Amino acid sequence: MASQKKLDAKELDKIVEKMIDTVHHSKDEIFHIGEQSRQEHERLMNELNETKHLVHIIIQEADQLETQARLARQRLSEVNRHFSRYSEMEVREAYEKAHELQMKVTMIREQEKQLRLRRDELERRIYGLKETIERADHLIGQITVVLQYLSSDLRQIGEFIEGAIQKQEFGLKIIEAQEEERRRLSREIHDGPAQMLAHVMMRSDLIERIIRERSVDEAIQEVQDFKKMVRSALYEVRRIIYDLRPMALDDLGLIPTLRKYLQNIEEYNNKMQISFVHIGEEKRLPSRFEVAIFRLVQESVQNALKHAEASEIQVKMEITKQYLFLMIKDNGKGFDTTQKKENAFGLIGMKERVELLEGTMNIRSQMGVGTTIFIQIPL
């Protein structure tokens, strides 16, 4: 099921990449349309300015021809009224000049009309191109936002799915760990306290027999051995309880419990040096904080012992009014933080605990140098 989900996450990445390519292509097409519209807009603006200039010239020429045509008509009217005074040549010239000027006026007015129509058409086309350019710019801006979303936020979906898969695997590991812990506790109780208690019952029967059949001194010696056995059984029970949850955590608080725990780890591992530094007020925290922080330190130290093979571990804690700062540093093998570690469920569990407390966790590690874990938790 998990492998199928991983495949789906990869398929989703492919779909996102294809979407990005398609949107990029669309952006290029719109940009090309916008550039063509700008070029056409510039060409039409030049033509419009030239047309307006021609209209201005035509109007001036038409006005001059109108004046000349009016004078020619007046001259023709004068000739018609005094027809007998003018020769046939003068009458013909008057008619021809008036007709010629009238034809020129008609032609130039038609030319002016066509230029005005062209001007109006150019203005409409320029207005449409301006809207196209503005629309293209707006779409490019929107597509840029979409590309940023696709390139950043949407790509995080794949990471989110991978994180969900990790959490699912982590949950299964928790169930397996719980079952394994139950088996371990069952074996420890069976091989330890349970066997000892069975021996206690047998020794109690033996003591009764010794008291009846032998001397009192032998009975006293048997009672002393009996007490040692009971004390050993009690120690084993307390050790198991401490592994489940240190009682000192409820009684003494986080700092003394951590100090005692780290001392015990150092004593148990002869070649290990563990230092614990606490800065700030040694005050009690809410139970959920103390348990979570104790487990974070416990998991970090166990990782340094089991996986990093460290010989020195430093644990520093600072408690302020608003935050708790925790640093666990070792001189172990280190690892590459850029590469995903298989079965790194200890780190995943720590991250889950920190997130539940609304805190942050950063890991710095260098191969052959060691690992440092920084944790900040708001109180």
Q: pLDDT by residue (tens digit) across 10-57? A: 666 677 677 777 777 777 888 888 888 888 888 888 988 998 888 888
Q: Stretch 80-94: mean pLDDT, rounded? A: 76
Kindly give, in sequence order, each residue whose CB lies less than 8 Å from that of residue 57, ignoring residues fewer than 6 positions away: none
Residue 154: pLDDT over 60: no
Residue 258 pLDDT: 87
Q: Give the model confidence (pLDDT) of 350-365 as tens digits.
A: 888 888 888 888 988 8
Q: Token match 């699912």: residue? A: 168
Q: How far is CA 33 from CA 28, 37, 41, in A?
A: 9, 6, 12
d(CA 259, CA 277): 9
Alpha helices in 82-194 (DSSP H): 88-151, 155-189
Q: Give the model confidence (pLDDT) of 273-309 as tens digits.
A: 888 988 877 788 888 788 888 888 888 888 888 777 8
Residue 265 pLDDT: 79
Task: Name which residue leads in pLDDT, 208 or 239.
Answer: 208
Residue 163: pLDDT band (50, 70, 90) is: low
For residue 344, give the H/E element and its range: none
Residue 157: pLDDT over 60: no
Residue 374 pLDDT: 92
Q: What percent of the chain has pLDDT over 90?
A: 3
Residue 80: pLDDT over 80: no
Q: Give the model confidence (pLDDT) of 105-119 as tens digits.
A: 888 888 888 988 988
Residue 7 pLDDT: 45
Residue 1: pLDDT band (50, 70, 90) is: very low
| Helix/strand/coil for 259 | helix
Residue 238 pLDDT: 64
Residue 152: pLDDT over 50: yes
Residue 284 pLDDT: 83
Specify the pTM: 0.44
Distance of CA 234 to the CA centre of its chain: 52
Residue 210: pLDDT band (50, 70, 90) is: confident
